[in-house]
């Protein structure tokens, strides 16, 4: 049996829309992108959303918005030490300084009790990550942010479908940044999207994704219809707003072909989500029998985990290594991925931050002993049972 890590559902509707875009020669960001934004915002329950070209760009642009709201280059952003490296890269790419905080080994997420002591006069925002779709402790994080007047940007790259105390991921802070990369629950192949309840943030995001232009429209008539843009040459004689650059921008637009794939995904979102959730919750229940050797995350009664993947962490005292477990799973046809790294101490590019091994013991432990495997919509009970049997076989051998 083969259990690939991820999959992407390309629907007939997506094929139709892709062809339509190709046939009409309307390929740059246009009506499909706008439709995707509207429907994604509706799905999450956010007022507005802005589509970009990757989840990393979603993180970067959400952070860069803060320059319009009092932040200065070099200011500090608090992030968990354990995440996909994109979280740390994004802070630097946006021109800020990442301040890493260790995670809680049980939740994989930023340890809220360690945040206060990481705050300085230069802190501008907290960027929690809902790792593996498990919501971060947002009540505590928002309380700390409120007390210190900080913004909260959710890195919701892996958190499609995650719910915390009745509210969807992406609506729990000032902005939520999602990845729409292939293996994610809703995908545009490559892509990302930022959700927000604040129209002023959305306006700045639309400018940022298009080089920092003075344009603020949700949909550009030049792109969608080649029509005359009445706003372009304003009455104040200041010239063509397409060539007025109000802020340092990026080139991060989503294109129509990507949005076409995403729109098809949105049509079957509920099916995808419920299949993945069924798989994840089934595996989480079954995997308990492997404690204390292998543990995963636990679902709290006040949350739904966004079913991104199944994390597993080998515990101290086990008679096997991650390398051995991975070799067994891969030989048995089950794709594995490491459960990321402690960004400041296990990613070479971050050596300049001056942290040393041991500074983030929980993140480092998971970085050395964690893996994750797929729970996607092409898998069912038979595949889940195969995963459990394969683990059982391995553990019996290494008991």
Ligand X SMILES: Cc1ncc(COP(=O)(O)O)c(C=O)c1O
**87 binds ligand X per the rule CB under 6 A:** yes
Q: Could you tell me whether strands 82-83 and 341-342 are parallel, antiparallel, or unpaired per DSSP bridges? A: antiparallel
Q: CB under 8 Å to 178, separation ≥6 — which residues?
A: 40, 55, 58, 156, 157, 159, 160, 170, 184, 186, 192, 193, 194, 195
**84 binds ligand X per the rule CB under 6 A:** yes
Q: How far is the CB of 178 from ligand X (least distance, A)?
A: 8
Name the 3-class secondary structure at 395: helix
Residue nearer to ligand X on the CB measure, 84 or 282: 84
**50 binds ligand X per the rule CB under 6 A:** no
Residue nearer to ligand X on the CB measure, 158 or 174: 158
Q: How far is the CB of 58 from ligand X (least distance, A)?
A: 7
Cα–Cα distance between 304 and 238 in angstroms, integer?
51
Structure token pair of residue 122: 């230069």
Q: How far is the CB of 192 from ligand X (least distance, A)?
A: 5
Q: CB under 8 Å to 244, separation ≥6 — which residues?
A: 213, 214, 238
Q: Which of residues 111, 137, 158, 258 is near ligand X by CB under 6 A?
A: 158
**181 binds ligand X per the rule CB under 6 A:** yes
Q: Which of residues 44, 86, 162, 391 is near ligand X by CB under 6 A?
A: 86
Find where tokens 């740059």 sit: 28
**282 binds ligand X per the rule CB under 6 A:** no
**119 binds ligand X per the rule CB under 6 A:** no
Cα–Cα distance between 197 and 393 in angstroms, integer?
49
Q: How far is the CB of 159 from ligand X (least distance, A)?
A: 9
Name the 3-class secondary structure at 170: coil
Applying CB under 6 A, which part among 50-58, 102-110, 197-205, 215-223 lies near ligand X? 50-58
Within residues 125-144, the interface with ligand X by CB under 6 A covers 129
**266 binds ligand X per the rule CB under 6 A:** no
Cα–Cα distance between 357 and 311 in angstroms, integer?
23
Q: Which of residues 155, 303, 364, 383 is near ligand X by CB under 6 A?
A: 155
The helix (run of H) or strand (run of E) holding residue 222 is helix 221-224
**188 binds ligand X per the rule CB under 6 A:** no
Neighbours of 69 (CB within 10 A): 14
**55 binds ligand X per the rule CB under 6 A:** yes
DSSP conformation class of 356: -
**56 binds ligand X per the rule CB under 6 A:** yes
The helix (run of H) or strand (run of E) holding residue 271 is helix 269-287
| Beta bridge pairs of residue 125 | 77, 151
Cα–Cα distance between 268 and 377 in angstroms, integer?
11
**54 binds ligand X per the rule CB under 6 A:** yes
Cα–Cα distance between 384 and 382 in angstroms, integer?
5
Residue nearer to ligand X on the CB measure, 185 or 260: 185
Within residues 290-329, the interface with ligand X by CB under 6 A covers none
Applying CB under 6 A, which part among 53-61, 211-219, 325-333, 372-380 lies near ligand X? 53-61
Q: How many residues bind ligand X (CB under 6 A)?
A: 15
**83 binds ligand X per the rule CB under 6 A:** yes
The helix (run of H) or strand (run of E) holding residue 168 is strand 167-168
**157 binds ligand X per the rule CB under 6 A:** yes
Residue nearer to ligand X on the CB measure, 14 or 179: 179
Interacting residues toward ligand X by CB under 6 A = 54-56, 59, 83-84, 86-87, 129, 155, 157-158, 179, 181, 192
């Amino acid at each position: 049996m083969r259990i690939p890590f991820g999959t992407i559902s390309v629907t007939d509707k997506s094929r139709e829309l892709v062809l339509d875009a190709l046939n009409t020669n309307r390929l740059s960001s246009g009506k499909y992108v706008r439709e995707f934004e509207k429907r994604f915002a509706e799905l999450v329950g956010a007022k507005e959303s802005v589509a970009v070209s990757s989840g990393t760009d979603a993180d970067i642009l959400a952070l860069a918005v803060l320059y319009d709201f009092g932040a200065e280059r070099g200011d500090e952003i608090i992030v968990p030490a354990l995440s996909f490296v994109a979280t740390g890269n994004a802070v630097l790419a946006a021109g800020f300084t990442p301040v890493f905080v260790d995670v809680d080994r049980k939740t994989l997420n930023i340890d809220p009790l360690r945040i206060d002591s990481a705050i300085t006069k230069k802190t501008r925002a907290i960027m929690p990550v809902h790792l593996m779709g498990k919501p971060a402790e947002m009540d505590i994080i928002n309380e700390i942010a409120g007390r210190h007047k900080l913004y909260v940007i959710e890195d919701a790259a892996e958190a499609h479908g995650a719910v915390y105390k009745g509210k969807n991921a992406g609506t729990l802070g000032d902005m939520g940044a999602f990845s729409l990369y292939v293996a994610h629950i809703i995908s545009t192949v490559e892509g990302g999207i930022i959700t927000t309840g604040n129209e002023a943030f959305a306006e700045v995001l639309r400018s940022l994704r298009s080089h920092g232009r003075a344009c603020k429209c949700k949909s550009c008539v030049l792109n969608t219809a080649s029509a005359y843009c009445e706003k372009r040459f304003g009455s104040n004689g200041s010239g063509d707003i397409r060539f007025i650059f109000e802020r340092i921008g990026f080139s991060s637009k989503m294109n129509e072909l990507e949005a076409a794939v995403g729109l098809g995904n949105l049509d079957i979102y509920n099916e995808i989500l419920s299949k993945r959730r069924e798989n994840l919750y089934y595996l989480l229940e079954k995997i308990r029998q492997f404690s204390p050797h292998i543990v995963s995350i636990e679902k709290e009664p006040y949350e739904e985990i966004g079913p991104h993947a199944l994390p597993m962490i080998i515990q101290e005292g086990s008679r096997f290594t991650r390398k051995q477990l991975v070799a067994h799973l891969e030989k048995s046809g089950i794709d594995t991925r490491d459960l990321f790294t402690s960004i400041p101490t296990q990613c070479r590019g971050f050596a300049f931050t001056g942290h040393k091994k041991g500074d983030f013991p929980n993140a480092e432990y998971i970085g050395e002993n964690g893996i994750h495997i797929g729970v996607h919509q092409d898998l069912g009970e038979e595949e889940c049972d195969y995963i459990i049997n394969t683990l059982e076989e391995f553990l019996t051998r290494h008991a």
